[in-house]
Amino acid sequence: AALRDDDRDVGSDDEETSSSESSSSGKKKPQKTTWSGGASRRRRRRGLFDVDANVSVFETTIRVLGGLLSAHLFASDPELAFAADYDEPFLLRMAVDLGRRLLPAFETRTGIPFGTVNLRHGVPSGETAVASLAGSGSLSLEFGVLTALTGDGRFASAANRAVKALYDRRSNQYGLLGKHVNAQTGKWVESLSGVGSNSDSFYEYLLKMYALFGDESFWGYFEGISD
């Protein structure tokens, strides 16, 4: 089934019903209000991820977005026959909704994303510009798959731009990258280099992007760093 641009449910808004009963003394009992589930319908219209919550861009991408994309690919593969009734790609629609909510994190002067985004309001006020190499540069795989499945180039473009921005800031002397960078200025906050925490998956994703998409630029980044 083709992906529809508007995946929202068209239920009605909250419906409030009120009733008042009279007691034997003639006095009215306190008014009782019941809700018909409108809040649940509103959530369906706006999407499961329409919540006022701050989330890690990196963790949400690799776990939630990646999980939705993987589940969609399994469910839509006729040879696997995991979900014979998967006629509407609701998992992909959820992934698109989530991906759109993560995109504001990339709106920096360098293209390197903030580490945190609010799923409803965008980047939180006062959010630090310091981002880790792994957290800001290990998003291209999931965003690339999202673009491949939808044709919406914004996702891959944002994530790939971040990788290039990080690579371009490698050490002139050693060709190495630090572990933490200011996403607005592009200056390294922690210049210590290594393949451990806060940096490991950046290098991993360079190879995975080449293996999955055959993107020569990512192989070039990997060679440029390893040399």
CB contact burial 76-90 (16+ within 10 A = b; e otherwise): beeeeeeeeebeebb
Tell me what pLDDT residue 124 has: 98
Tell me what pLDDT residue 46 has: 78
- Cα distance between residue 137 and residue 174, in whole Å: 19
Whether 159 has a pLDDT exceeding 80, the answer reads: yes
Whether 114 has a pLDDT exceeding 50, the answer reads: yes
Helix (H/G/I), strand (E/B), else coil: 166: helix
| pLDDT tens track for 59-82 | 999 999 999 999 999 999 989 888
pTM of the predicted protein model: 0.80
